[in-house]
Chain A
Amino acid sequence: GESVGLHLPTLSVQEGDNSIINCAYSNSASDYFIWYKQESGKGPQFIIDIRSNMDKRQGQRVTVLLNKTVKHLSLQIAATQPGDSAVYFCAENIGRSYIPTFGRGTSLIVHP
């Protein structure tokens, strides 16, 4: 079936490095994507979103890139900090559906 998934379950980086978390999706009807961050014992927290008519969107220290040709989404975190350690999920909305579908997640570990 169609699903949202992530390439790497765990990513370890050094503090100060840039991090890139990838996400593949298979449903070409997906038109809205969100990245969420989930810290231990907490619910997912919104980081940044992007609509399918955009290729790139920047926030504070984060950038999301969308490549619709290969159905790939990435989250770039600049100057990664220990506080960025968490599990990161991409989620997609398919068509006009109000229901985000989540992938499995990538655990980001930032070493001081």
Chain B
Amino acid sequence: GAGVSQTPSNKVTEKGKYVELRCDPISGHTALYWYRQSLGQGPEFLIYFQGTGAADDSGLPNDRFFAVRPEGSVSTLKIQRTERGDSAVYLCASSLTVWRSGANVLTFGAGSRLTVL
């Protein structure tokens, strides 16, 4: 597609349930990022993929959070045993990292709003 697509756009779940959020990046973008955004805050980094591998997962808050990108395109963010504090908008972004020019512009999706009751 022309942009980054995220599904679902909204997800309401109960505390303790398992959730999967999907991201379809721009075709050809090798870099993929997951961020989390709470109300009134800026996006907070979770994990970064370069191709199929997680190049940096230092932002994942705990082991309940996990993300995969098995074929280097679509990515899934998985949250186990959800807690009310996990409620936020989960943003996915992709980019062509072209460090020769020093540019790294991320294109974001609209986000998946997760509400944990």
Contact = CB atoms under 8 A, between A and B. Distances in A.
Interface of A: 31-32, 34, 36, 41-46, 49, 51, 89, 91, 93, 96, 98-105
B36 to A, nearest CB: 11
B82 to A, nearest CB: 22
Contacts of A104: 40-42
Interface residues of B, number: 28
B48 A44 contact: no
Contacts, number: 60
Contact of A103 (B42, B48, B106, B111): B42
B93 interface: yes
B108 A51 contact: no
Interface stretch (B62-70, B71-79, B97-105): B97-105
A46 B106 contact: yes
B102 A98 contact: no
Interface of B: 4, 31, 33, 35, 40-45, 48, 50, 55-56, 91, 93, 97, 99, 102-111
A100 B99 contact: no
A99 B110 contact: no
Nearest to B106: A100
A43 B109 contact: yes
Contacts of B91: 43-44
